[in-house]
C-alpha cells in the first residue's frame, strides 16, 4: 500500500491545524504525508509527482477552483480521488454545482477538528481500499492478457479438434480428454526427395523450405473442413469426417504446389499423398507431465503405406475410401492391387492427379 498523501489547498485554519494532523496520525492505521498549499498554482506541481494523492482538501474560496477540479477529474489517474470541499453553510444549490466536478464530501470550515479528522479517515479508508482493489484488478487483467496471448500461441500448435474439445471440457471443469472412436478419412503426405535436398541446406533454409509447402496444405485442409493432426518432419497427417472433402483438399494441394516456384529457384517441391478411410481412435498418450492427443489405428498406418507408394504430385486413394462416399465411381478410374510394406493383406487403390475425377 502506498503512503497516503493528503493535499490541501486554501487558507482554512483546519488545513494548518497541527491538532488535526496529530489526531489523524493517532487514529489512522498507517502513516501519511500532508502537503498544505495556499493556492492552486502552488498545488499544481503535486499532481505531477510520482507519489500518489489519496485525498484532496479544498477551500471554496480558492481562486480558479472550478477549473482546477475540472482539469484534475479529467485525468483518469485522479478520477476516483476523494475531494473534501470546505464550504460556508449548507447551500444545496451550490453543492449541486460541484457534484459534476467529482466533489462528494462537504464540510463547514467552522467544524471541530475531530470532525475533520473523522471525515478524512473515512475518505482515506475507502480510497485506499479502492486502490487495493484496482491494483488487484490490474494484476489480474495483465495476467489474463498474458494468458490469452499464451493460449493464442498454443492454439496454433494444437489440432483444432483438440482445441475445441479442451474448451468444452474446461467449461465442465473436466481435466481429461476422453477417447473418441469414429470413422474418419486420413490423409498422409510427405515431400518427395526431402532428405537429399535438406542435407545440402542449412537448418534455417530447411525450415523455410517446409514453410513454402505447409501453408498451402494447411489452407486447403481447413478450407475443406479438415484438421491437421500433426506435422512430422517433412510430412503431415490430416483428418476429415468424410472422404470426398479429403480427396478434394489433396488434389487442390497438388494443383497449387505444381505451380509454386521456390524463392531460391530450386525445382518445385512435390508431395506424395495417400488417403484411406476407416475406424480410428483419437486418444491421449504420454505421461503425467506431457501428453499428446493423437490418432491410433490400422487405418493411420495403412494411409502412410499408401503415401509411400504414391507418385510425386499424385494422390493414392484406397478403393475402401472411395466406396465409403456412396457415389458412383468414374468409369476411367483404374485400380491396382498393392502389397503394402508390413501389411499381411493386399489393398486396391487408384492414383489421381489434379484435374482427374474419381466420380461419375
Domain membership flag for residue 20: yes
199 shares its domain with 323: yes
77 shares its domain with 215: no
145 shares its domain with 179: no
344 shares its domain with 206: yes
Cα–Cα distance list, 145 to 151, 153, 341 (Å):
10, 12, 50
| Chain centre distance of CA 240 | 26
For residues 159-194, one letter each, b for 16 or more C-beta atoms within 10 angstroms of the residue's C-beta and e for the rest, the string is: bebbeebbeeeeeeeeeebeeeeeebbbbbbbbbeb
300 shares its domain with 242: yes
Which segments of the chain does DSSP mark as H helices, in order?
A: 18-27, 40-44, 65-74, 92-98, 113-155, 160-171, 194-198, 203-223, 243-258, 298-309, 319-323
The pLDDT assigned to 21 comes to 78
The pLDDT assigned to 131 comes to 84
178 shares its domain with 144: no
The pLDDT assigned to 3 comes to 64
Cα–Cα distance list, 227 to 103, 131, 160, 222 (Å):
59, 47, 6, 6
Q: Is the dihedral of CA 50, 87, 127, 124 positive or negative?
A: positive
Cβ(250)–Cβ(271) under 8 Å? no
Domain membership flag for residue 234: yes
Tell me how far apart the alpha carbons of residues 163 and 229 are, in angstroms, rounded to a whole number.
Answer: 11
How confident is the prediction along the chain (360 residues), in pLDDT tens digits per residue? 556 688 999 988 888 888 887 777 665 556 678 888 988 888 888 888 777 888 999 999 899 888 889 988 888 888 889 999 998 877 778 888 888 888 888 988 888 888 888 888 888 888 888 888 888 988 888 888 888 888 888 777 777 777 777 777 777 776 677 788 999 999 999 999 888 888 888 888 888 888 889 999 999 999 999 999 999 989 999 999 999 999 999 999 999 999 887 666 677 889 999 999 999 998 888 877 788 878 889 999 999 999 999 999 999 999 999 999 999 999 989 999 998 887 777 899 999 999 998 888
Cell of 146: 498474458
344 shares its domain with 200: yes
Domain membership flag for residue 156: no
Domain of residue 96, residue span: 5-149
Residues 6+ apart with CB under 8 A from 183: 277, 278, 279, 324
Cα–Cα distance list, 348 to 298, 300, 334, 337, 345 (Å):
16, 16, 10, 4, 10
130: domain CATH number is 3.40.50.2300
* Counted domains in the chain: 2
Q: Is the dihedral of CA 13, 14, 18, 19 positive or negative?
A: positive
Tell me how far apart the alpha carbons of residues 106 and 204 are, in angstroms, rounded to a whole number.
Answer: 70
Tell me how far apart the alpha carbons of residues 125 and 177 are, in angstroms, rounded to a whole number.
Answer: 48
178 shares its domain with 136: no
Domain membership flag for residue 162: no
307: domain CATH number is 3.30.70.1230
The pLDDT assigned to 129 comes to 86
Residue 340 CB: number of other CB atoms within 10 A?
Answer: 18
The pLDDT assigned to 189 comes to 96
143 shares its domain with 188: no
- The whole-model pTM stands at 0.65
Domain end position, chosen among 115, 149, 183: 149
Q: Classify strands 315-318 and 346-352 as parallel, antiparallel or unpaired.
A: antiparallel
Helices 113-155, 18-27: axis angle to 10 degrees equals 50
Helix then strand count (H, E) for the chain reads: 11, 13
Tell me how far apart the alpha carbons of residues 198 and 99 are, in angstroms, rounded to a whole number.
Answer: 73
Nearest one of 323, 333, 213 to 270, comparing CA atoms: 213
* Angle at the Cα of 303 from the Cα atoms of 302 and 308, rounded to 5 degrees: 95
Residue 48 CB: number of other CB atoms within 10 A?
Answer: 6
Domain membership flag for residue 91: yes
10 shares its domain with 142: yes
Q: Is 82 helix (H, G, I), strand (E, B) or coil?
A: coil
The pLDDT assigned to 349 comes to 95
230 shares its domain with 101: no
Amino acid at each position: 500500500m502506498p503512503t497516503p498523501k493528503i493535499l490541501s489547498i486554501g487558507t482554512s485554519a483546519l488545513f494548518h491545524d497541527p491538532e488535526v494532523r496529530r489526531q489523524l496520525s493517532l487514529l489512522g492505521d498507517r502513516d501519511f504525508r500532508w502537503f498544505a498549499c495556499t493556492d492552486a498554482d502552488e498545488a499544481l506541481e503535486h499532481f505531477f509527482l510520482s507519489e500518489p494523492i489519496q485525498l484532496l482538501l479544498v477551500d471554496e474560496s480558492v481562486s480558479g477552483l472550478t477549473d482546477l477540479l475540472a482539469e484534475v477529474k479529467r485525468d483518469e489517474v485522479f478520477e476516483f480521488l476523494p475531494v473534501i470541499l470546505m464550504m460556508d453553510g449548507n447551500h444545496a444549490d451550490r453543492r449541486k454545482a460541484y457534484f459534476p466536478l467529482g466533489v462528494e464530501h462537504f464540510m463547514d470550515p467552522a467544524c471541530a477538528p475531530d470532525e475533520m479528522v473523522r471525515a478524512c479517515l473515512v475518505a482515506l479508508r475507502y480510497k485506499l481500499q479502492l486502490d487495493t482493489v484496482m491494483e488487484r484488478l490490474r494484476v489480474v487483467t495483465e495476467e489474463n492478457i498474458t494468458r490469452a496471448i499464451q493460449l493464442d500461441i498454443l492454439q496454433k500448435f494444437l489440432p483444432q479438434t483438440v482445441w475445441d474439445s479442451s474448451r468444452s471440457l474446461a467449461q465442465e471443469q473436466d481435466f481429461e480428454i476422453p477417447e473418441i472412436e469414429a470413422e474418419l478419412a486420413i490423409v498422409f503426405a510427405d515431400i518427395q526427395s526431402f532428405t537429399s535436398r535438406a542435407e545440402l541446406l542449412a537448418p534455417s533454409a530447411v525450415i523455410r523450405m517446409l514453410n513454402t509447402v505447409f501453408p498451402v496444405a494447411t489452407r486447403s485442409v481447413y478450407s475443406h473442413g479438415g484438421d491437421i493432426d500433426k506435422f512430422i518432419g517433412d510430412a503431415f497427417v490430416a483428418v476429415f469426417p468424410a472422404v470426398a472433402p479429403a480427396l478434394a483438399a489433396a488434389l487442390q494441394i497438388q494443383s497449387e504446389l505444381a505451380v509454386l516456384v521456390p524463392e531460391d529457384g530450386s525445382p518445385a517441391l512435390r508431395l506424395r499423398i495417400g488417403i484411406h478411410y476407416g475406424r480410428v481412435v483419437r486418444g491421449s498418450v504420454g505421461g503425467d507431465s506431457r501428453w499428446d492427443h493423437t490418432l491410433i489405428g490400422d487405418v493411420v498406418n495403412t494411409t502412410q503405406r499408401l503415401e509411400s507408394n504414391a507418385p510425386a504430385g499424385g494422390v493414392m486413394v484406397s478403393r475402401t475410401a472411395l466406396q465409403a462416399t456412396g457415389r458412383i465411381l468414374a468409369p476411367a478410374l483404374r485400380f491396382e492391387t498393392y502389397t503394402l510394406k508390413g501389411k499381411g493383406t493386399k489393398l486396391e487403390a487408384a492414383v489421381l492427379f489434379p484435374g482427374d475425377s474419381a466420380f461419375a
